[in-house]
Structure 1
Amino acid sequence: MTEPLGARIRRLRTGRGWTQRELAEPGYDRGFLAKVETGSRPPSEEMLAYLAERFGLTVDELRYGRPPGVAGELRAALDEGYRDLAQGRVADAETRFASVAKQAAGYHLDDVECYARFCLAEVKWQLFDVSGAQKALEHAEELAGAAPPWLRAMIVHRWSGCRYLSGDAGTAIARVEEALRMLPADPDAELCLLSALIHPLMETGGLRRAQEAAVAGRGLARAATRPDFVARFHRQAAQVWQTIGRADRADEDLIEASRLFASVGFDRDAARCRWARGYLLRHLGRLDEARAELTAARDQLAAIGSEEGVAGATLELAEVRLRQGAPGEAASLVAGVRDLLSRDVESLGEATGLRGQIAQAQGDLTAATRLLREAFEIQTRASLHGAALSTALRLGDVLREQGRLAEAIEAYQHGLDSASTDT
């Protein structure tokens, strides 16, 4: 039960061994203080400030019963819980976040409560509960007016990620761009939002805009103060450099991102950098190295309970094994994470297309055609234009292999139509 303000004043006074007269005078008389302590008269703001000064407290510490320094202690508890989450101790982190959220609400610390709600959303994100994460982020956003810019930016970053994974890339991009326009000058927050833009833009055909975000981010990274934000930017920017043929810069960014994440104890994110590096190595044709990197990433992500990461790294590993001439193993890998892959539209489209490629490699062109058509439809509905183009080209090749030339031409044309669409 919340302690009444008058009772708190009386407890603090008696704890110091003061009489009512000693506390009240010279600013107020003893009788008025007595009424305040019994709750029959509320103190004015001026009296509250006077009493707080006498006790050596802030007004809000006196008003809400906050112990001195409690806000910093609660923020530190959330930071520690976030490291627990990043290292796979999900249940411990969630318990800590919920406890801090309750305490912060009791002390009327809206900024700390907002951070705690965001951390609870991160638990949902870690567990690959996209809809649950979005709802929790919207709950956090109710208090975002009291939050620092970096936290407001991170809420938008994750919310847009939820919308993107739900197949609504246009809304995801628009929300981040709106936040960038409204943002006060803050390098950490701006870097966070630019990082959130890059992947959706890349996947929806906005390479030019993604490159602009990557270039702008390089300058901001030098001014930013949060190593996790800088690391997240490097990981995202690597996609741009790889696509425009700067594999050396992409590799440098991924190595730096992994180093920074490891330096702050974010094991999950460091493992995701290994996953991204495995993807890069696959595209460079260094398949043995890619296989080793992706296997390590998958195992690390599994050890810390990151289902989304396990699904993505496994899918990429299956692609490598297919290219290494092991379609049966590739099919087994995809089947092992099929339920996880169905949770977000990008992974579902990629997995369906890969199953089509596996069927093609195994000589089942009918199944390959069906699966590639299905993948193209998923990717087109989600505005994943780059992925849809690749799928359409594969579909056209499979149709041409069957002698179905008119359908092949139609598939190629659909792919070109998709590629010409830019967000």
Structure 2
Amino acid sequence: MPSLPTLRTEAEPLGARIRRLRRARGLTQRELAEPRYDRGFLAKVESGSRVPSGDVLAHLARRLGLTADELRFGRPPGAAAELTDALETAYRELQQGGLESAEREFTRVEGRAFEYRLPEIECHARFYLGEVQWQRYDIPLAAQGFAHALELSEAASPRLYGMIVNRMAACRALSGDLGASVALVETALAELRAAGPVDPDAELALLTALIHPLIEMGALRRARRAAEEGRRTLASAHRKDIAARYHRQAAQLWQAIGLTERAEKDLSRALRLFTSIGYDRDAARSRWARGFLWRRMGRLDDAHAELLLARDLLAEAGSREGVLGATIELADVRRRQGAFDEAVALAEGIRPLLDRSPDIEARAEVLRLLGLIARAKGDLPGATGLLEEAADAQERAELRGALVATSLHLGDTLRSRGLLAEAVQAYRRGVRAAAMSDSGPLG
């Protein structure tokens, strides 16, 4: 696995830095050192033979018009603000498809933050480097990047820590380990709440991360609790991007339990928020989610138009993960509209992305889609094989909600072939999956 790009520079010795700054200001050693110290003492500091104490550094920094940390680490005035602004600007560029230039800027900022001893900014740059790999749909390398950021989590703000855990959990979920994804988030959430006053942005980021894996595990009551807690936290949150991600994720839960009007409202809020801050990729992902919702509601023409737009916008933003998801939904819409050949072509066109990814959920969705198309075309043996393969993958990954639906399709297909005993086994498999979930009425 390739390593993440990292920039490291040789630090300028402190004494040499003091000498350089003194000369740049046109000061003699005596003028800088007095009245508290003499020229000879400063000469030893500049040569490196004398290590300055904190009091000495504070005196010299004041004389040079700097803070002690700016002098100690060679940090230009305003460096922290400049690097933070550079990160946010580059992240917007990433959202708009500028992956390579954003990656270069994140790498530059990481190196400067290390040099200037700004660990929170260095952590944030590492997190965004993980986001680059996420956008490229390289989930193993993205997970490595987020773990790299987590190494500096003690210096990170609670909000940043919450976002790192959010993304690490998503990587685990995509790799088929839903239980580990949920456990990671629940542990982080418990620690956050036990530590004292809770940062609402951090709490909202963590609650948001729980919703999708819990839905896929069939744990709808737990997912709803997370969504309702998130809605209460939302009133205190400050970051628009975190609020927008909550709205988009909560919509998935409302849809799963039949509250489609509530889901539409949340997706509209997410789209408005992402658009207002220039997050084009995430705005397009909200359109993808809305197309998915409309497809589930039977609004196939609306879903087709929205998913086409979402796919094209995600392609412009360089989001391979988004293109994959939107294309799967688009193919299912075309299947439902009877355009079987086009649906197959769409599904086959994303196989290279699937082959490079550990995304079991997406892989199983494509298998089920192709199985349903095969059944519609009258190829019942082919449909059986594809649906069985999808069900096996979903069972291994604990995708219980999806397994219920696939088992039903598989049972119907086997029954159409006259294989009644096998059909009963398939139905029972779906019943077991439903029994292991809490997907009954939620009130």
TM-score, normalised to structure 1, is 0.98
User: What aligned pairs does 1:1-400 form with structure 2 within 5 A after superposition?
Assistant: 1-183=10-192, 184=195, 185-342=198-355, 343=357, 344-400=359-415
Task: Give the distance between the partners of 2:349 and 2:20, measured in 1 at CA.
Answer: 62
Higher mean C-alpha deviation, range 121-130 or range 58-67: 58-67
1:120 and 1:17 map into 2 onto residues whose CA distance is 41
Q: What's the CA shift string for 1:367-394, capped at 9, x where partnerless? A: 1101101000101111111011111111
Q: Give me the whole-angstrom Cα distance separating, in 2, the residues matched to 1:338 and 1:16.
A: 62
Deviation at 1:245, TM superposition (A): 1.7
What is the alpha-carbon distance in structure 2 between the residues aligned to residue 31 and residue 313 of structure 1?
70
Q: Return structure 1 stretches of 4+ with deviation > 4 angstroms.
A: none
- CA RMSD of superposed structures (Å): 1.2
Q: Deviations over 1:1-34 (max 9, x none)?
A: 4321111112222333333223222322322111
Identity of aligned residues (%): 58
Q: In structure 2, what is the Cα distance between the partners aligned to 1:34 and 1:85?
A: 48
Deviations 1:186-224 (A, max 9, x none): 111111111111010000011001101111111212211
Runs of 5+ unmatched residues, structure 2: 1-9, 439-443
Separation (CA, whole Å) in 2 of partners of 1:391 and 1:68: 60
Q: Distance in 1 between matches of 2:302 and 2:437?
A: 34
When structure 1 is superposed on structure 2, of 407-416 and 18-27 the one drifting more is: 18-27
Counterpart CA distance in 2 for 1:322 and 1:422 is: 29
How far is 1:419 from its partner? 2.1
For residues 14 and 408 of structure 2, the distance between their equivalents in structure 1, rounded to whole angstroms, comes to 71
For 1:211 and 1:378, how far apart are their aligned partners in 2?
26
Q: Give the whole-Å Cα distance in 2 for the aligned partners of 1:247 and 1:95.
A: 42
| CA deviation after TM superposition for structure 1 residue 239, in Å | 1.0
Query: 1:317 and 1:341 mapped to 2: Cα distance?
Result: 16
Pair 1:411 & 2:426 matched: yes
Q: What are the Cα deviations for residues 285-316 of structure 1, in whole angstroms up to 9, with x where unaligned? A: 11111111111111111122211111111110
Structure 1 unpaired stretches of 5+: none
CA distance in 2, matches of 1:279, 1:154: 25
Letter of the 1:364 partner, please give it: D
Name the CA distance, whole Å, in 2 between partners of 1:237 and 1:318.
Answer: 24
Query: How far off its partner does 1:422 sit?
Result: 4.3
CA contact (8 A) 1:341 1:351 kept: no
Q: Which amino acid aligns with 2:116?
A: Y
Q: TM-score, normalised by structure 2?
A: 0.93
Deviation by residue 1:313-355 (Cα, 9 ceiling, x = unmatched): 1110111111111212111110111221342111001111111
Aligned-partner residue type, residue 414 of structure 2:
L
SS in 2 for 1:241: helix
> Match of 1:62, as an amino acid?
L
- Secondary structure class of the residue paired with 1:223: coil
Q: Post-superposition shift, 1:49?
A: 2.0
Give the equivalent residue in structure 1 for 2:441: none
The CA distance in 1 between the partners of 2:256 and 2:176, in whole Å, is 22
Name the CA distance, whole Å, in 2 between partners of 1:397 and 1:329: 24
